[in-house]
Amino acid sequence: MNTIVLAHEIEDERFYYLEGTPLDTVKECCEQEGYQITNTYSDERKLVNDILDNVITPTTIVAYGDYEDYIHLEEICSRKNIDFLTTFDMQLKNCC
């Protein structure tokens, strides 16, 4: 299974108040759900371009945050039959 992770870097004062980085959160969720991460992106635009240019062909994308944060990416995943999950949704299921 080709799983791509999208997690942005936090470079402001919020970093000091978080228990872990966005990437740590996504990795934990993927591990608990049994997803093997094959590639990591921190820039949504780069990820979208790589999908549209057929540079990568993911089966699953797990993104840090909520669906509303990634409306364009979610539409592309829907058109290309890519499973799109967010950490917020996974956390609601109490898996991480």
Which CATH number characterizes residue 22's domain?
Answer: 3.40.50
Strands ordered across the beta sheet of 60-63: 37-41, 3-6, 60-63, 83-86
Give the integer Cα–Cα distance in Å for 42 and 21: 12
Mean local confidence (pLDDT), 69-92: 90
The Cα 15–Cα 92 span in angstroms is 23
Domain containing residue 56: 3-92
Could you give the number of structural domains in the chain? 1
The pLDDT tens digits of the residues spanning 6-24 come to 997 765 555 555 667 888 8
- pLDDT tens digits, one per residue of 23-48: 888 899 899 889 999 999 999 999 99
**Region of poorest pLDDT, from 4-13, 51-60, 81-90:** 4-13
